[in-house]
């Protein structure tokens, strides 16, 4: 960033004249603004990756009309306007113009004030639209809204950590943990949490509890024994804080996730006890979303323990609970879980239409956007079905899609998923030969998002 801006300063003798002209054009446009407009323009330098009208209002000085100001900047070609995932107007600057605005903001001495307002806005934003233990939100529609602001969340996190604001950083992180997972960026989310937890001091107990639970959630899938034990300690610490705060939903969530740490270690009897207790707590509170998650965990644990009948019954029950909660993302998750369990037990004819329905349910009807990691899991299930039908070319292409959707290490594979993925790759490569497999895999990996859906559903 700084290198690019330095190239535009016009002071260096070896800077190309075109770049000097760009800087000069931005300078000229800025100088044509009156003093109030200049202040509003440079305030926008705090954003990254675009913003909404509401976001602009949060960083503008009081009394200024954000809509009029943004329309003026659009007319002057300083700002561009697009339509956001919710149908609202979104605005952005070319990066060179944004860097110029940021430079002016810093030079004015207004940067920290603007950055603090920006961070406060995005805390409220993620708490409104992100993950919540109080309700099961429908992330099919919320996911496009959240990822549109991911760069601003990163910027707010960076400022909060740089300024040692532990509470602000942790409040930004907890509602976003599933977004990092769905994007295939679990390691990035874990790094942010680790950085925030190293900030000295203590946030309010409920915020600290959310943070330790988030840290464990982002490190849980596929963890080794030592990592599972660390996650268990984090969940136990969070549960104590939740109990002190009288926050039963938090306690229940931690109990269910402690069960996952036991299941990851192969301690299935202990895992089933935790999942069962978690389900009873959630059911007593009529928390259908939490009940669904506990029953889905029970389904996986029973299957691994060899109790196929209970595994199928629990997976079916989870789907019933998902429909009761009314959240489409929960229905999608339960459809996938039910289809996967049916494949696990060999009931393929029943599994196929349910697996297809899970994919269709995952796509936001307004934007066509879908969550990368959940889609990768659905595609992997289709690859399993393809392998069972000996359609190895299709399997190769589907595995290429999985790899393109998110790095394999970020997919949250656990409970045998990693072994299954490796076996599918090995079988397809052996059946097709290296050259054909690589060609099919490359074809899948290069598909645009809309073609992925069409191909995956073509023979599903």
What are the CA-CA distances from residue 332 to residues 37, 189, 260, 323 (Å)?
A: 47, 24, 21, 10
**Closest among 234, 115, 246 to 177, alpha carbons compared:** 234
Name the residue with tokens 């190293």. Answer: 198
Under 8 Å between Cβ of 336 and 373: no
Surface-to-core class of residue 152, CB atoms within 10 Å of its CB (0-12 exposed, 13-18 middle, 19+ buried): buried
What is the 3-class SS of the chain, one letter each residue?
A: CHHHHHHCCCCCCCCCHHHHHHHHHHHHHHHHCCHHHHHHHHHHHHCCCCEEHHHHHHHCCCCCCHHHHHHHHHHCCCCEEEECCCCCEEEECCHHHHHHHHHHHHHCCCHHHHHHHHHHHHHHHHHHHCCCCCCCCCHHHHHHHHHCCHHHHHHHHHHHHHCCCHHHHHHHHHHHHHHHHHHCCHHHHHHHHHHHHCCCCCCCHHHHHHHHHHHHHHHHCCCCHHHHHHHHHHHHHHHHHHHHHCCHHHHHHHHHHHHHHHHHCCCHHHHHHHHHHHHHHHHHCCCHHHHHHHHHHHHHHHHHCCCHHHHHHHHHHHHHHHHHHCCHHHHHHHHHHHHHHHHHCCCHHHHHHHHHHHHHHHCCCCCCCCCHHHHHHHHHHHHHHHHHCCCHHHHHHHHHHHHHHCCHHHCCCCCCHHHHHHHHHHHHHHHHCHHHHHHHHHHHHCCCHHHHHHHHHHCC
Side by side, the strands of the sheet bearing 80-83 are: 51-52, 89-92, 80-83
* Paired tokens of 122: 């995005």
pLDDT given at position 8: 37
Q: What angle do CA 22, 28, 34 make, to 5 degrees?
A: 140
- In this structure, are strands 89-92 and 51-52 parallel, antiparallel, or unpaired? antiparallel
Residue 143 and residue 163: Cα distance in Å, rounded? 29
What is the 3-class SS of 254-281, one letter each residue?
A: HHHHHHHHHHHCCCHHHHHHHHHHHHHH
Residue 437 and residue 458: Cα distance in Å, rounded? 20
* Paired tokens of 330: 């929960």
**Closest among 11, 7, 6, 27 to 19, alpha carbons compared:** 7
pTM for this model (two decimals): 0.90
Name the residue with tokens 């806005």. Answer: 121
Q: What are the sequence ranges of the domains in the chain?
A: 2-109
**Closest among 24, 92, 22 to 53, alpha carbons compared:** 92
Residue 225 and residue 429: Cα distance in Å, rounded? 31
pLDDT given at position 11: 43
Q: Which CATH architecture has domain 2-109?
A: Orthogonal Bundle (1.10)
Under 8 Å between Cβ of 272 and 297: no
Going residue by residue through the chain, which has 460 residues, state the pLDDT in tens, using 9 for 90 and above: 344 434 333 444 444 555 567 888 898 999 999 999 999 999 999 999 999 999 999 999 887 889 999 999 999 999 999 999 988 999 999 999 999 999 999 999 999 999 999 999 999 999 999 998 777 889 999 999 999 999 999 999 999 999 999 999 999 999 999 999 999 899 999 999 999 999 999 999 999 999 999 999 998 765 678 888 999 999 999 999 999 999 988 999 999 999 999 998 999 999 999 999 999 999 998 999 999 999 999 999 999 999 999 999 999 999 999 999 889 999 999 999 999 999 999 999 999 999 999 999 999 988 888 999 999 999 999 999 999 999 999 999 999 999 999 887 787 655 567 788 899 999 999 999 999 999 999 999 999 988 999 999 987 6
């Amino acid at each position: 960033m700084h290198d690019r801006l330095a190239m535009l300063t016009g002071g260096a003798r070896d800077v190309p004249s075109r770049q000097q002209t760009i800087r000069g054009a931005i300078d000229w446009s800025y100088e044509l603004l009156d003093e109030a407009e200049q202040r509003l323009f440079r305030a926008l330098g705090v954003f990254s990756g675009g913003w909404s009208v509401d976001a602009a209002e949060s960083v503008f000085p009081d009394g200024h009309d954000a809509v009029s100001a943004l329309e003026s900047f659009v007319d002057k070609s300083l700002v561009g306007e697009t339509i956001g995932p919710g149908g609202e107007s979104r605005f952005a600057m070319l990066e060179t113009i944004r860097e110029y605005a940021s430079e002016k903001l810093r030079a004015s001495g207004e940067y920290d004030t603007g950055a603090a307002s920006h961070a406060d806005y995005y805390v409220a934003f993620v708490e409104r639209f992100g993950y919540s233990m109080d309700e099961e939100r429908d992330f099919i529609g919320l996911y496009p809204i959240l990822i549109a602001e991911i760069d601003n969340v990163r910027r707010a996190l960076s400022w909060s950590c740089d300024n040692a604001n532990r509470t602000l950083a942790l409040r930004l992180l907890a509602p976003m943990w599933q977004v990092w997972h769905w994007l295939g960026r679990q390691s990035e989310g874990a790094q942010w949490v680790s950085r925030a937890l190293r900030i000295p001091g203590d946030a309010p107990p409920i915020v600290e509890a959310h943070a330790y639970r988030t840290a464990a959630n982002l490190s849980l899938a596929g963890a080794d024994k030592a990592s599972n034990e660390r996650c268990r300690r984090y969940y136990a610490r969070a549960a104590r804080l939740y109990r002190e705060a009288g926050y039963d939903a938090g306690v229940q969530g931690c109990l269910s996730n402690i069960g996952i740490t036991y299941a990851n270690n192969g301690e299935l009897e202990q895992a089933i006890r935790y999942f069962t207790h978690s389900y009873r707590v959630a059911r007593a509170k009529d928390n259908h979303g939490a009940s669904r998650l506990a029953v889905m965990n029970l389904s996986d644990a029973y299957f691994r323990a060899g109790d196929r009948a209970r595994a199928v019954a629990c997976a079916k029950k989870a789907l019933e609970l998902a429909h009761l909660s009314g959240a489409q993302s929960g229905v999608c998750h339960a459809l996938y879980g039910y289809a996967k369990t049916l494949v696990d037990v060999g009931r393929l004819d029943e599994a196929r239409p349910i697996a297809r329905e899970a994919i269709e349910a995952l796509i936001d009807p307004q934007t066509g956007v879908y969550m990368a990691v959940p889609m990768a899991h659905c595609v992997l299930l289709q690859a399993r079905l393809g392998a069972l039908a000996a359609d190895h070319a299709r399997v190769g292409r589907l595995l290429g899609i999985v790899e393109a959707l998110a790095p394999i290490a970020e997919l949250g594979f656990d409970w045998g998923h990693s072994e299954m993925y490796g076996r599918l790759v090995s079988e397809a490569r052996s059946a097709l030969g290296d050259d054909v497999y690589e060609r099919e895999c490359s074809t899948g990996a290069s598909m645009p998002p809309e073609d992925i859906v069409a191909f995956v559903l073509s023979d599903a």
